């Protein structure tokens, strides 16, 4: 239903999205995960046809987004990060306005409004003015306008942004139910969001697609490596090199001031015999070791590792 082929977006000398390719199948719910500024919103805007890619090709339901924008628009429901609401209208008046803009006929109007209001749990505020709605209900109203017209594809940009925990849970349940009838691509910077809602997760950072996999697949990737956290004091200039020389150590990250540093040592989960002891012994031989902890692998670890390992590149 969604296909991106070597898509890039450039604003002048700045490259915001770099050679991104992936597909979303019919009825699939895919999470677009990355830190703020990673290129998620720009990618969703290109898929929606709101902006055009500088390079590459995007198709929605088999239609080219650039060459056949009208056909694509008819098949997309789009929720931007800030829902496009009109405060002077009532909830039902706003939904009626959107339905008319999307070509819903008069004979279908009431059934369609009842359908989206029920799906997004807007019944209790159906006659209220939009300006009186809470943040949670405004977000649900944004979801409802995206649903109008039964689009094949839903694009949701940070759909739970700014909501309290209760509102987040309710919104997640609503979105999860969408996957039964729609193809959904949603962006977020919250890992727990995609693992609870989505069938696959695409990780993006600095405009590059780093990986796309199921939550279970990412968990398996996380379990391929583990991390030991060391708190060390002393002149640690050469410690990173010493640790990297130990068999079984994959990578070492250093944080903190020079004389009280924290070393994150990525190493094999299947411990080589004496690996922990070898690390502790090497550190203790010349430095003061204050803390030693082997952390269990988590999805957060693998996400941070993908993001951390993104190679830096000039925007020119």
pLDDT-derived band at 194 (thresholds 50, 70, 90) equals confident
pLDDT score at 315: 42
Q: Once rounded to an integer, what is the mean pLDDT over residues 239-254?
A: 86
- The residue that leads in pLDDT, 73 or 177, is 73
pLDDT digits (tens, 9 = 90+) for 199-231: 999 999 999 999 999 988 887 766 666 778 888
**Is 50 exceeded by the pLDDT of residue 316?**
no
DSSP letters, the chain, are: -EEEEEEEEEETTEEEEEEEEEEE-TT-EEEEE--TTSSHHHHHHHHHTSS--SEEEEEETTEETTTTHHHHHTTEEEE-SS----TTSBHHHHHHHHHHHTT--HHHHHHHHHHHHHHTT-GGGTTSBGGG--HHHHHHHHHHHHHTT--SEEEEESTTTT--HHHHHHHHHHHHHHTTTSEEEEEES-HHHHHHH-SEEEEEETTEEEEEE-HHHHHHHHTTEEEEEEEEES--TTHHHHHHTSTTEEEEEEES-TTEEEEEEEEESSPPTTHHHHHHHHHHHHSEEEEEEEEPP-HHHHHHHHHHTPPP----
What is the token pair recorded at 289? 């070791």
pLDDT score at 297: 62
What average pLDDT is seen over the chain?
A: 87
What residue ranges define each of the domains in the chain, with the CATH number in brackets?
2-214 (3.40.50.300), 225-296 (3.30.70.260)
Burial class, 194, CB count within 10 angstroms (exposed 0-12 / middle 13-18 / buried 19+)? buried
pLDDT score at 314: 41
Radius of gyration, alpha carbons of the chain:
24
| Nearby residues of 253 by Cβ (< 8 Å), 6 or more positions away | 263, 264, 266, 308
Q: What is the distance between the alpha carbons of residues 269 and 280, in angstroms, rounded to a whole number?
A: 17
pLDDT digits (tens, 9 = 90+) for 119-177: 898 999 999 999 999 988 999 999 999 999 999 999 999 998 878 888 888 888 888 88
Q: Once rounded to an integer, what is the mean pLDDT over residues 28-57?
A: 94
Q: Once rounded to an integer, what is the mean pLDDT over residues 4-25?
A: 96
């Amino acid at each position: 239903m969604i296909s991106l082929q070597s898509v890039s977006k450039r604003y002048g000398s700045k490259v915001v999205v770099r050679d991104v390719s992936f597909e979303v199948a019919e009825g699939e719910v895919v999470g677009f995960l990355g830190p703020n500024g990673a290129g998620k919103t720009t990618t969703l805007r290109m898929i929606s046809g709101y902006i055009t890619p500088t390079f590459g090709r995007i198709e929605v339901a088999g239609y080219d987004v650039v060459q056949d924008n009208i056909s694509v628009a008819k098949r997309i429901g789009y929720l931007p990060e800030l829902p496009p609401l009109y405060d002077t209208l009532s909830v039902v008046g706003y939904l009626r306005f959107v339905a008319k803009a999307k070509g819903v006929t008069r004979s279908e109007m009431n059934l369609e409004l009842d359908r989206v209001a029920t799906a997004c749990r807007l019944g209790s505020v159906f006659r209220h003015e939009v300006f009186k709605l809470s943040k949670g209900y405004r977000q649900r109203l944004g979801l409802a306008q995206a649903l109008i017209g039964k689009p094949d594809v839903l694009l949701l940009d940070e759909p739970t942004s700014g909501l309290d925990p209760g509102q987040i849970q309710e919104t997640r349940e609503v979105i999860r139910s969408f996957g039964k009838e729609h193809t959904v691509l949603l962006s977020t910077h919250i890992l727990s969001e995609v693992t609870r809602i989505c069938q696959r997760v695409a990780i993006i950072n600095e405009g590059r697609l780093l990986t796309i996999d199921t939550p279970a697949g990412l968990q398996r990737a996380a379990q391929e490596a583990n991390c030991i956290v060391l708190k060390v004091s002393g002149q640690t200039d050469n410690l990173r090199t010493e640790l990297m020389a130990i068999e079984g150590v994959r990578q070492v990250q250093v944080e903190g001031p020079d004389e009280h540093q924290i070393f994150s040592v990525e190493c094999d989960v299947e411990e080589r015999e004496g690996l922990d002891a070898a690390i502790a012994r090497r550190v203790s031989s010349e430095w003061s070791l204050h803390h030693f902890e082997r952390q269990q692998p988590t999805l957060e670890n693998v996400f941070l590792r993908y993001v951390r390992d993104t190679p830096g590149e000039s925007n020119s």
